Structure 1
């Protein structure tokens, strides 16, 4: 009796239906591997069974390995001898090799999505038939969580479709459709969903071979193989160069995948699988994979399931939404909300401004229609749900109103008062402010317990994170409704407490401002910009400074200084930002000039040559590692301060918010994961060195010193 795989017999063919109990999607677990092992023995030793079909009792075939299992495996590997860790990492690989050499033919009837280890299981089958569904995806996306396909994926896929064709699917985790898979030889046949199992059964009964192509004499990898084959040499030379350009050598998994394919495709399959296993073990033994799995999937998954939602509030869908302000943010909020099926009232001061906001949604919809992502009927229905107006009376009957007007307290107070005169008594009011404290803005409200912050990131339609800010008087009903809304528009929420700049804006700002401080010191701007990318940040600090605008940094700095008075801590970047705005008129990308020049002839942007005149480079330049450390450590210290001050509710919110909010180096798993990995005593000591060299902004918070002294970590639990 097996727990995760249903075993039935159709005459002389066994049918193994994957069916992980209690889950909507099949995943590879320790129990499933044990069950598959016993069923392979059962099939191979039963003389009445000609062969077996692997399929799924669920709509999808399999989503891959249980990431919590992989995280545990990574943790266990840290304290296990390397050879033992290798054997453990190769458990599934050996099991699949056992299946394909057991002497009986196995066929995969792929009825739905097959990802990661799920696809690797099918590749170890002798025959693969897939359902005729263009939306069905086949992929090996392990690289996206800092891993490599370690159950034969790096070896079987190139042997089926050729090395050159396979590399993008391995290095980028790209998906292929059934038709693409058939064209590449990854599957043997496409059949209607209702016929996939019968098609596989027929193949077995007609004498399907129990021997894989790579186990047959004279097998050759499609497209060539070997270190001396010109086409292969060219492929790997180009792949290595492209990989370095794209990843800056920050992520170990792509390098390991490339090496595993290069070495493995030249040797027999058993040796190749051993090579793959060694590379998987080397990755598992590093902290990047465990950190990325925990933050990008486990903790993000919990956030998506609304782990911070008050349990005492009944769940409610937002049917009607009001958006105040039809600029880029407001228009983006209107679009994603209408996309989720809500009726949206988009309000601005003039009809022209409101219509311009809706026009942004029209542009987005038309692009989707043109690219085949949306039908005309659905596009028209989406746009019909957005009403552009100046009439606040149309907010009547709404469940939620989101204000997205200028960052001015008086303007925000005015629209709050106007909206509340027509809003239902139980509806929620939210501000999309990025810096102004919610508690202060709520003073303009007659019902501050129903006032909350819902901070989006630009562009709204692309950015996955939403920051929910709880004011001093915000009630559970407001928090629950805000979280329900974020889930409804399919974004990831984090919940933080109120403060100036909240969490993401406050911590993100340290990235460009530290770069500006280095520029003022005479560090070469190209060194700073490239070091940011080499640290794992998606965009260099000067490029991102131009994107958010130097003018905005200057204005936020002035407002913060005015609000804090004597408590304000001056920053070396303050004077530089003021000089750029008031003297040079270089305010950022929107003006066509900032740290970068943006040529009007369409040529590529480039760092402004005048930077060298305004900030002459020093004779002695720091190392790349020193610059990388300053950029990452400065952000991480501010995150710890937010945690110490109670702005953050949990380490998971810190790391999920940092990666999905402003792109903090994903390979670290987030700033608090990075500190845990470095070790708190070592991190504190390095902060003290940086503080002595560059200023008090690097001084480690008391919380960090206390934790280091006690041997604590952020993720100890």
Structure 2
């Protein structure tokens, strides 16, 4: 047996002929399936074949914290139509080596310690057995669809043949779900779970010693796809409903990756293995070289990564870890903040005006935790451990020593100031003083506290346990230390923090109003309300603007509008009234329709549940106006994009990443765009094309679509938002 001295692959053979190959890229902190890995994989597989006669089995493992990550996203993001041949060649090269590995004629085992996602799990699928270490960092899955892609290293083909067409689609390919060790074992994604890497290596050697046949199931003659092929009656009965279910789930919005996954899986299941790989390559090549995946990768990987790595965090401030938090107000928002804080390990004081209200807030956490227990995702012991950290109270003294307080009471400035002042004497001297508000200027609220430098805005989104975004609002006197601490706390409790400067409505609440107003204005112009809602969802918004306003409430939106007008007037600023205002006023004053809580809004409600659009809309506002679908969609998209540019101009936004991530995670801007500023970048013709189209919309629908001068200059200079 010859030596194999390789910088990326450690090679160790024992007396029984079992080779342990340890992946350890010397140039990176994590192993990734990049160009270098693919090139060196050829060398490794060639050597395995050359030394095959002296090998009884192969174990693949990693020296890094991850097993193996996916491909080079930067390269994938840059690919365009002209790159299709090179992209296809790259995919075929990687697939050929994985195919050779599984056909080595010797049992190959993956010992997975750390994440095996995307290409990492595809490598594991090309092994004959998968053993996972039971550790927090170990997770497996094929999350490519969440980045506008599909698994391109045989992941579609192998999972369909291993698990069956429907389980592969529903559990892995269409969802992009990631599974920890125990869940992965339950789903059959791994074959065994062990306590640590050494135990995994020992288990792999025992399995190899048992003399297993080193043949993949799909390479055995006559092997049937579990559950049947697309031609089998059982699958035929379900298959036609899948495209319809996908359209229903996405509301007709662009879902290029999901559609490609579905097609690649179904088509590939009707041909032999190697032709199925070819089909998979064809679909992923189109995705890689299309715009949508690049947009999504830009926002949901690079922009998100920049934010989570602390791009907004002031330099030179020591890291901070909170231990005790006081949440003022045990309504839905306060209860949600209490839950995520307790789940993250903080002691939580949940204060309200009555102990009954505070206990109801704690019950919110109990309900979520019990559901996790019922579904097997947690245990009664873990549930009780989290609940024990939440202390309902009415006594301000229970805040003693807390290093952060977040008030989450009604949007009433005087009430917010009052509840914070009650607990301030009991807090740690340098405690962060935070207000959860969606619209009220933080600088004004800070006037009510003795330490304005410690005061900051924390705009959570509802429901807090599902919405990852936290919009941190910096007031005029907020210190860098307070900002740094708040970012650290946000990460501690599992939130993605964007940072904005103080203004009325901040970024998210201000910009989403433009989306809502444009939809309402179209109703006022006599466009059928159903068409307006459909235009929004087909553009990629998760919900129609009229339905969204009903949830917010028309009366609250008018109150905020009036307060905004008054606040701007006090500053000597006069902003033209949006055409939507007249529609909202009529809905409230003439028709008594204030939204879902009022029992009537743009929609009808029965027992609190939506029961269709109000038929009176056609009678009161007309329904004979027909606008091009593109115009309807772009009025909403452009309204938000243009106001986002103004937010940049005014210094409300601090970065492009904050705008893109905040718009997708916080206010439902369509993910396929890559975010509200990436939408401008990727528009046909880039920013110049966007400016030309904005002027068209301004000519047709009003001056509010006139592009800001800063955007015009950027377009003239050929610059994008980076």
Q: How do 1:584-663 and structure 2 match up within 5 A?
A: 584-600=591-607, 605-618=611-624, 620-663=625-668
Aligned-CA RMSD value: 2.7
Q: Deviations over 1:503-540 (max 9, x none)?
A: 01101112222111111111111111111111111111
**Which one of the candidate residues 141, 144, 151 is aligned to 2:143?**
141
**Which one of the candidate residues 218, 221, 238 is aligned to 2:241?**
238
Q: Distance in 2 between matches of 1:333 and 1:235?
A: 41
Q: Distance in 2 between matches of 1:420 and 1:182?
A: 49
The secondary structure found in structure 2 opposite 1:99 is helix
Does residue 687 in structure 1 map to residue 694 in structure 2? yes
Q: Deviations over 1:358-388 (max 9, x none)?
A: 3433443444444444443443443333333
| Cα 1:440/1:687, change in 2 over 3 Å | same
CA contact (8 A) 1:155 1:276 kept: yes
CA contact (8 A) 1:3 1:35 kept: no
CA contact (8 A) 1:158 1:265 kept: yes
Q: Deviations over 1:9-47 (max 9, x none)?
A: 122121112345587764333333333322211111013
Q: How do 1:38-187 and structure 2 match up within 5 A?
A: 38-46=43-51, 47-57=53-63, 61-62=67-68, 64-66=69-71, 69-75=72-78, 77-78=79-80, 80-111=82-113, 113-130=115-132, 137-168=139-170, 169-175=172-178
C-alpha deviation, 1:673, in angstroms: 1.0
| Cα 1:345/1:233, change in 2 over 3 Å | closer
Q: Distance in 2 between matches of 1:181 and 1:480?
A: 37
| Cα 1:267/1:585, change in 2 over 3 Å | same
Moved more, 42-51 or 387-396: 387-396
Question: For structure 1, which runs of at least 5 residues remain unmatched after alignment?
Answer: none
1:16 matched residue in structure 2: 21
Moved more, 171-180 or 405-414: 171-180
2:703 matched residue in structure 1: 696
CA contact (8 A) 1:160 1:184 kept: no
CA contact (8 A) 2:130 2:192 kept: yes
Q: Deviations over 1:117-136 (max 9, x none)?
A: 12211221234455689996
1:273 matched residue in structure 2: 277
C-alpha deviation, 1:425, in angstroms: 3.0
Q: Distance in 2 between matches of 1:132 and 1:457?
A: 33
The secondary structure found in structure 1 opposite 2:240 is helix
CA contact (8 A) 1:119 1:140 kept: yes
Q: Deviations over 1:165-196 (max 9, x none)?
A: 32212122245677887787765666776654
Does residue 358 in structure 1 map to residue 362 in structure 2? yes
Q: How do 1:482-493 and structure 2 match up within 5 A?
A: 482-493=486-497
Q: How do 1:295-374 and structure 2 match up within 5 A?
A: 295-374=299-378
CA contact (8 A) 1:4 1:31 kept: no
Q: How do 1:191-270 and structure 2 match up within 5 A?
A: 195-225=199-229, 229-247=232-250, 248-270=252-274
- Matched length: 708
C-alpha deviation, 1:604, in angstroms: 5.6
C-alpha deviation, 1:491, in angstroms: 0.7
1:559 matched residue in structure 2: 563
1:541 matched residue in structure 2: 545
The secondary structure found in structure 1 opposite 2:94 is helix
The secondary structure found in structure 1 opposite 2:465 is coil
Q: Distance in 1 between matches of 2:423 and 2:609?
A: 46
Q: Distance in 2 between matches of 1:177 and 1:561?
A: 51
| Cα 1:208/1:377, change in 2 over 3 Å | closer
The secondary structure found in structure 2 opposite 1:567 is coil
CA contact (8 A) 1:448 1:474 kept: yes
CA contact (8 A) 1:554 1:581 kept: no
C-alpha deviation, 1:266, in angstroms: 2.5
Q: Distance in 2 between matches of 1:198 and 1:334?
A: 44
Q: Distance in 2 between matches of 1:60 and 1:625?
A: 44
Does residue 35 in structure 1 map to residue 37 in structure 2? no
| Cα 1:132/1:558, change in 2 over 3 Å | closer
CA contact (8 A) 1:684 1:704 kept: yes
2:582 matched residue in structure 1: 575
Q: Distance in 2 between matches of 1:269 and 1:586?
A: 59
The secondary structure found in structure 2 opposite 1:584 is coil
CA contact (8 A) 1:345 1:386 kept: yes
Moved more, 160-169 or 445-454: 160-169
The secondary structure found in structure 2 opposite 1:484 is helix
Q: Distance in 2 between matches of 1:364 and 1:230?
A: 40
| Cα 1:199/1:393, change in 2 over 3 Å | closer
Question: For structure 2, which runs of at least 5 residues remain unmatched after alignment?
Answer: none
| Cα 1:651/1:175, change in 2 over 3 Å | closer
Moved more, 326-335 or 23-32: 23-32
Moved more, 396-405 or 351-360: 351-360
Q: How do 1:344-423 and structure 2 match up within 5 A?
A: 344-423=348-427
C-alpha deviation, 1:596, in angstroms: 1.5
Q: Distance in 1 between matches of 2:704 and 2:357?
A: 42
1:531 matched residue in structure 2: 535
| Cα 1:581/1:359, change in 2 over 3 Å | farther
Q: Deviations over 1:185-229 (max 9, x none)?
A: 765666776654344334445544444343444444344436x55
**Which one of the candidate residues 714, 717, 721 is aligned to 1:707?**
714
Moved more, 209-218 or 458-467: 209-218
C-alpha deviation, 1:112, in angstroms: 5.6
CA contact (8 A) 1:560 1:568 kept: no
The secondary structure found in structure 1 opposite 2:639 is helix
Q: Distance in 2 between matches of 1:103 and 1:6?
A: 21
| Cα 1:55/1:292, change in 2 over 3 Å | same
| Cα 1:577/1:176, change in 2 over 3 Å | same
Q: Distance in 2 between matches of 1:355 and 1:238?
A: 45
Q: Deviations over 1:31-85 (max 9, x none)?
A: 33333322211111013223312233456544x315xx1232331x327443222
Moved more, 142-151 or 174-183: 174-183
| Cα 1:23/1:360, change in 2 over 3 Å | farther
Q: Distance in 2 between matches of 1:663 and 1:29?
A: 32
